[in-house]
Structure 1
Amino acid sequence: MTTLTFFTFTDHRYWAFKMMGGGPRLVKNTKGLLFFKLLGTGKKGFSVLPDWSEYAFLAVWESEDDAGLFFKDSSFINEYKQRCAKIINYDLRCIKVNGTWDGKTPFAAMKHLTVSEHDQIGVITRASVKWHK
């Protein structure tokens, strides 16, 4: 199971930025957590300019129960709940995988998954900015 959680801040933006570096220590030994990344976002959803008011947490879990327990009881999530204006969580199902993240392929496409025209679809991309080009 994969989750993608967005945190929106009106205040505490500096704290949110610091969590990009300090947050991993709060989640790295979480039961059932197979892979995670803390993510920044671009202005207006897609830009090289950062949106300092919105961050995301991408996670792959062994089970829905592990994910549910984390979102209910973890100190990481509780810290965010105390400081952010809005939290939106998406439970994701993988349709297709291409490439690696830190040399790993954390996502597995679900076999026999059908998608209709009414389903919501998101695309997660990993890109590196090469400043010298």
Structure 2
Amino acid sequence: MAACGGRPIQTVTLSIHRFDTVSARLWAFAQMGASRLPLSRVPDCQFWKLCGSGSGEGFTPRPETAVWAILAVWPDAATARIRLRDTPVFRRWRDRASEDWTLFLRPTSVRGEWSRRTPFSASPDPGGPLAALTRATIRPRHLLRFWDQAPAISDVIGADPNVAFKIGIGEIPFLHQITFSVWPNAASMAAFARADGPHARAIRAVRDGDWFAEELYARFRVIDTCGHWQAARPLPTEGQAA
């Protein structure tokens, strides 16, 4: 068990699933309601969210009915592995999916709130590939403006050669948006964020117009992965123990 100053280090897991058949997709859609109670009863799970995804690079308002995700927060990496391996609700999702991939993440910085709480606890940065997560609740009066910007941002992220993986997910279509991307290092991610273009312009518009009712920004180190995802490039820590 990894620890910092004698204390366990919080681990966040993002489990992404692809469902190829119509029946499997209908099953996944139904799980947005049916899996809520089982997840709420998983021992040691400190926070969880069930999410759908957007089409294309994921940062679009058009849903992708084949891809669904579960984000969960655990007290440490060893507990995360045991619960994901043995808990029936996680096993059911893996058994139904045609492809699944889980990233094990160590929070290194967090700012803001998600559902009126701060779910991640930052710990010292161990180095390695960097993941960035932004989550926002969009004010209804700004929905059209926000989603008008999103396709251009999606194109820029998709074209960046440094991005090892990217996906747009969310709890409620249109109102909630989560962007998640994996980068080889902080420099490449910072260069993308600083570059003038659709992403920078959207950030300025959000700040100037107060588009978000709630927002959270977090960075993580990718400490391990398991499973497989064709759209993801190999990461340096692939297959290593956390």
TM-score (norm 1): 0.88
Matched length: 129
2:14 corresponding residue in structure 1: 4
The change in CA–CA distance for 1:62 and 1:13 in structure 2 (over 3 A counts) is: same
Give the secondary structure class of the aligned counterpart of 1:13: helix
**Identical aligned residues as a percent:** 29
Following superposition of structure 1 onto structure 2, how do residues 52-63 of structure 1 map, counting pairs within 5 Å?
52-63=65-76
CA distance in 2: counterparts of 1:30 and 1:79, whole angstroms: 14
Output the CA distance in 2 between the equivalents of 1:40 and 1:84. 14
SS of corresponding position for 2:110 = coil
Confirm or deny that 1:87 pairs with 2:87.
Answer: no
2:91 aligns with 78
Of the three residues 53, 76, 80, the one matched with 1:41 is: 53
CA contact (8 A) 1:35 1:59 kept: yes
Q: 1:88 to 1:131 in 2, by over 3 A?
A: same
Per-residue CA deviations over 1:34-66 (Å, capped at 9, x if unaligned) read 011111111122212111110111111012232
Instruction: Give 3-state SS (helix, strand or coil) of 2:112's partner.
Output: coil
Per-residue deviation, 1:16: 0.5
Bigger relative contact order (CA 8 A; separation at least 6): 1
- The structure that has the greater radius of gyration is 2
1:114 Cα offset (Å):
4.6
Distance 1:55 1:77 in 2: 13
Q: Secondary structure at the match of 1:103?
A: coil
Unaligned regions of 5+ residues in structure 2, if any? 1-10, 143-242
Q: By percentage of residues, which structure has more helix?
A: 2
Letter of the aligned partner of 1:70 in structure 2? R
